[in-house]
């Protein structure tokens, strides 16, 4: 019997995502000037206020207030009527030094034996449902909001858009887990005030369906474009009005959108957030590493869908387990346990090895803090940072390294493919 599956996304202007982006901007600045920095920064945003808290061990001094303001300005909170504006909001910092009890468990005389920054389990997922090896409902949800943001920043044709928005996509699947059609699309977007609410709602609905959705559809493969039929149920700003939004409408916190950040409810999640953490925190680095494994396994043809789990004890380098679930889609004559053993042979999952393999001790995290950490396109970029003394540092970085298919040949060799 056919079934429905739903995923959601939130925009860069959503309060929780503002918090994530500020936290990751701090991580990037610390790592840019001191690659050995240990960072765990949380952000709270609310009406006219930003609160920064957390622990840092670093040799660099930063103007953290200015970094927060720069992020808020880039997102688009630049008008006083938003009740949260980049240059007038208060920014309070309560960041202090990292606990030496934690640090002694991470740093070792031999870098290769660097301990995990915390205990916990992390998951990576991939399937051949899309070109990015990501779940389709989440991929479309992200694309809807990325198009909305692009239109908003261009200033046309939807001139009324404000930064806060959410999307949700429900897809109908057949018994063999193949997508049949898009059943429902939900979009809530903040907007300027209108004299007539009904006219506003009709205008936004028409623009979403006739401007945004065609742009999203055009980015998909032809077989996926066919999923957009005339029977889609649309819920556009279903409350009827969305003028009050952003941190004025709802407080935002770092790490509160972990399912949006990963796989939209597919696979599993270990519960740890990513943003605000340097890569010694395995919540972040090992989640990236398991995604890297999962994507390369599917791309190599080992299976059509896979979930990879790894877990750690704080201060211990070697993981406590590596688990693989192929959901019965394996294309090799091995059990999932046997596949996991081979994965362990191909991929060194000690924290230091992960950092080196994926080049994680570079300032690459701000870009990941909105529209998902997974399924993105790796790029070579020039980035620039300013410290608290006004020193400027410009450097070349490679983003989203965990999305590279650079282990496909090694995986094929290991599995005899």
Give the residue numbers annotated as catalytic, written as ranges: 14, 16-17, 42, 55, 166, 242, 250-251, 256-257, 277, 281, 283
9 is in an annotated binding site: no
277 is in an annotated binding site: yes
CA nearest neighbour of 293 among 270, 326, 264, 258: 326
Return the number of other C-beta atoms located less than 10 Å from residue 269's C-beta: 18
14 is in an annotated binding site: yes
281 is in an annotated binding site: yes
59 is in an annotated binding site: no
The DSSP secondary-structure symbol of 231 reads T
183 is in an annotated binding site: no
CA nearest neighbour of 307 among 318, 320, 298: 298
275 is in an annotated binding site: no
Q: What is the DSSP string of 264-333?
A: TTSS---S---TTB-TTSHHHHHHHHHHHHHHHHHHHTSBSEEEEEEEE-BT-SS-SEEEEE-TT-B-SS
Torsion from C-alpha of 76, 77, 79, 81, nearest 10 degrees: 130
295 is in an annotated binding site: no
Structure tokens at 262: 């990963």
98 is in an annotated binding site: yes
191 is in an annotated binding site: no
- For residue 233, report the phi and psi dihedrals to the nearest 5 degrees: -85, 125
241 is in an annotated binding site: yes
* Three-state SS at 24: helix
Exposure on the CB side of residue 97, measured as CA atoms within 13 A: 7
Q: Are strands 379-386 and 252-253 parallel, antiparallel or unpaired?
A: unpaired
What CA–CA distance (Å, rounded) separates 113 from 76? 43
Using an 8 Å Cβ cutoff, are 133 and 329 in contact?
A: no
Structure tokens at 49: 């206020």
β-partners of residue 233 are 184
Binding site per annotation, positions = 14, 16, 42, 55, 98, 164-166, 241-242, 250, 256-257, 273, 277, 281
Binding site per annotation, positions for L-methionine = 55, 98, 250, 281
Binding site per annotation, positions for ATP = 14, 164-166, 241-242, 250, 256-257, 273, 277
Binding site per annotation, positions for Mg(2+) = 16
Binding site per annotation, positions for K(+) = 42
């Amino acid at each position: 019997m056919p079934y429905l599956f739903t995923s959601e996304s939130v925009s860069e202007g959503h309060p929780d995502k503002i918090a994530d982006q500020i936290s990751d901007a701090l991580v990037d600045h610390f790592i840019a000037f001191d690659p050995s920095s240990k960072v765990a920064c949380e952000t709270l945003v609310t009406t006219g206020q930003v609160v920064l808290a957390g622990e840092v061990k670093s040799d660099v001094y930063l103007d953290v207030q200015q970094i927060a303001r720069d992020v808020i300005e880039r997102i688009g909170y630049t008008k006083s009527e938003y009740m949260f504006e980049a240059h007038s909001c208060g920014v309070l910092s309560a960041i202090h030094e990292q606990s030496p009890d934690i640090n002694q468990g991470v740093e070792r005389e031999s870098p290769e034996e660097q301990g995990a920054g915390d205990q916990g389990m992390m998951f990576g997922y991939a399937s051949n449902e899309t070109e990015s090896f990501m779940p389709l409902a989440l991929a479309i949800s992200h694309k809807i909001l990325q198009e909305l943001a692009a239109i908003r920043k261009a200033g046309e044709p939807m001139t009324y858009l404000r930064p806060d928005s959410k999307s949700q996509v429900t897809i109908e699947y057949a018994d063999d887990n193949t997508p049949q059609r898009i059943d429902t699309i939900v979009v809530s977007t903040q907007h300027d005030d209108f004299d007539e609410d009904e006219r506003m709602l009709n205008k936004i609905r028409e623009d979403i369906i006739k401007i945004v959705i065609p742009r999203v559809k055009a980015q998909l493969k032809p077989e996926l474009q066919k999923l957009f039929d005339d029977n889609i149920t649309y819920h556009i700003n279903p409350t009827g009005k969305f003028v009050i939004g952003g941190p004025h409408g709802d407080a935002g916190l770092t790490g509160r959108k972990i399912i949006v950040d990963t796989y939209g409810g597919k696979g599993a999640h270990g519960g740890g957030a990513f943003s605000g953490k340097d890569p010694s925190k395995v919540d972040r680095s090992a989640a990236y590493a398991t995604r890297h494994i999962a994507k390369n396994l599917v791309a190599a043809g080992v299976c059509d869908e896979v979930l990879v789990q790894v877990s750690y004890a704080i201060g211990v380098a070697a993981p406590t387990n590596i688990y693989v679930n192929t959901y019965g889609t394996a294309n090799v004559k091995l059990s999932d346990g046997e596949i996991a053993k081979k994965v362990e042979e191909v991929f060194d999952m000690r924290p230091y090895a992960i950092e080196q393999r994926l080049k994680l001790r570079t300032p690459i995290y701000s870009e990941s803090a909105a529209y998902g950490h997974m399924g993105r396109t790796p790029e070579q970029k020039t980035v620039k940072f300013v410290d608290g003394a006004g020193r400027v540092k410009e450097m070349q970085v490679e983003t989203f390294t965990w999305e590279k298919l650079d282990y496909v040949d090694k995986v094929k060799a290991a599995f005899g493919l």
